Amino acid sequence: MGTRSTELREMLEPAVNALGFQLWGIEYTPQGRHSMLRVYIDKDGGIGIEDCAQVSRQISSILDVEDPISGEYTLEVSSPGLDRALFTVEQFKEYLGWHISLRLTENFDGRRKFTGQLKTVIDDEIVLIVGDEEYTIPYELIDKANLVSQV
Residue by residue, DSSP assigns 104-147 as EEEEETTEEEEEEEEEEEETTEEEEEETTEEEEEEGGGEEEEEE
Give the predicted TM-score (pTM) of the model.
0.84
Cβ neighbours, 10 Å, residue 49: 10
What's residue 1's pLDDT? 47
Question: 3-78 — its CATH code?
Answer: 3.30.300.70
Q: Is residue 127 pLDDT above 80, yes or no?
A: yes
The residue ranges of every structural domain in the chain are 3-78, 89-149
Q: For the sheet containing 74-78, what is the strand order? A: 22-29, 36-42, 74-78
Task: Fill in the amino acid letter for 106.
Answer: E
pLDDT tens digit sequence for 79-96: 998 899 999 999 999 999
CATH code for the part of the protein at 89-149? 2.30.30.180
